[in-house]
Amino acid sequence: MSDLSNTGVGGTESAHAGEQGHGFESFFPDSGGVDQSDASTNIDDETIAELRELAGRYPQARSALLPMLHLVQSVDGRISPRGIEVCAEILGITTAQVSGVATFYTMYKRRPAGKHHVGVCTTALCAVMGGDYLLDHVCSKLGIRPDETTPDGTFSLERIECNAACDYAPVMMVNWEFMDNMTPEKADELLDRLAADEPVASSRGATITSWREAERVLAGFPDGRADEGPTAGEASKLGLNIAAEHGWAAPTAEEAK
């Protein structure tokens, strides 16, 4: 794996390859900013045991690959080369097959994500409602562009697609928790508090933990925070409340007979 990825693409090496009969030349100057020489990992026997446990939860082990990659991220802060190897070994597939999956899905990060992963929705509706300005604002505030991480490792930023919270537009996400009805002022306060390690509650979720802890839950290891937060946000209950004001309800089973 590492031998292959360190060969490099483009530049002089592919020119050599050309002399040896290969006509291919890459037009990608780098591998999306991924440091292929970074082999660091925190994966230990305990991680491997948990990865095996995930593989055992499905009728066919390979179904566990997405959860396993979430767990790799929670341990290594990214999809690490070692994580890819371990997943491939456990599932009996090639590292290329694992890489093919890891590079397909946007939630998998091959570069280290920040302690807090911040998303700003700029799909059409959120963009029009102010999401474009919010993203500009957050970029200036953090001094990074989308898909970058602050030098201190506190924040990474992503321009996200529709996150199924359009009645709370414009929407931001922190570690995949909803931050509803955002404004530049609210974004400032949110980021300042996170940077200062002060507690921040999601609009419709739990107290913000970290991106890595979130990834562990997504892998299938609950963190015991399901009972935090409200049943529903105000917009979710709007129709219900209007019905109550008017005394409206669905028919009863008796009325139907």
Partner 1 sequence: MTDPLTPVLTANWGDEQAWKLASYERRGGYQGMRAALRMTPPEVISLVKDSGLRGRGGAGFPTGMKWSFVPQDNPNPKYLVVNSDESEPGTCKDMPLLLASPHTLVEGIVIASYAIGVSHAFIYCRGEVLHVIRRLQQAVREAYAAGYAGSNILGSGFDLEITVHAGAGAYICGEETALLDSLEGRRGQPRLRPPFPAVAGLYACPTVINNVESIASVPAIVKNGSEWFKQMGTEKSNGMTIYSLSGHVARPGQFEAPLGVTLRTLLELSGGIRAGHQLKFWTPGGSSTPILTDEHLDLSLDYEGMAGAGTMLGTKALQIFDETTSVVRTTLRWVEFYKHESCGKCTPCREGTWWLVQLLHRFEAGTAVDGDVDKLLDVCDNIGGKSFCALADGAVACVTSAVRHFRTEFEAGYSTPAWELFPYRESALFEVREREGAGV
Give yes or no for residue 256 binding partner 1 (CB under 8 A).
Answer: yes
Nearer to partner 1, 48 or 124 (CB): 124
Please choose, from the candidates 111, 90, 88, the residue with its C-alpha nearest in 3D space to the C-alpha of residue 100.
88
Contact pick of 86, 177, 179, 210 for partner 1 (by CB under 8 A): 177
Is residue 84 part of the contact set for partner 1 (CB under 8 A)?
Answer: no
Residues 101-160 contacting partner 1, CB under 8 A: 101, 104-108, 119, 122-125, 127-133, 135-137, 139, 145-146, 159-160
Integer-rounded Cα radius of gyration of the chain: 22
Site residues (CB under 8 A) for partner 1, limited to 42-71 = 57-60, 62-67, 69-70
For residue 4, the minimal CB distance to partner 1 (Å) is: 20
3-state percent helix, strand, coil for the chain, nearest multiple of 5: 45, 10, 45
Shortest CB 143 distance to partner 1, Å: 14
Sequence length of the chain is: 257
- Cβ-Cβ contacts under 8 Å for 90 (sequence gap 6 or more): 48, 51, 52, 55, 61, 68
Sheet holding 172-174, edge to edge: 155-160, 116-121, 172-174, 177-179
Among 72, 113, 144, 169, contact with partner 1 (rule: CB under 8 A):
169
Among 1, 9, 150, 220, binds partner 1 (CB under 8 A): 220
Residue 239 in 3-state DSSP?
helix
Window 2-31: contact mask with partner 1 (x via CB under 8 A):
------------------------------
CB-wise, 43 or 173, nearer to partner 1? 173
CB of 168 to partner 1, least distance (A): 8
| Residue 47 structure tokens | 């991680």
Q: Which one, of 224, 219, 228, lies nearest residue 200 by Cα?
A: 228
Question: Distance between CA atoms of 120 and 15, rounded to whole angstroms?
Answer: 41
From 1-9, 15-23, 42-50, 167-175, span contacting partner 1 (CB under 8 A): 167-175
Residue 43 or 135 with smaller CB distance to partner 1: 135
Rounded to an integer, what distance in angstroms lies between the CA atom of residue 94 and that of residue 90?
Answer: 10
CB nearer to partner 1: give 43 or 169.
169
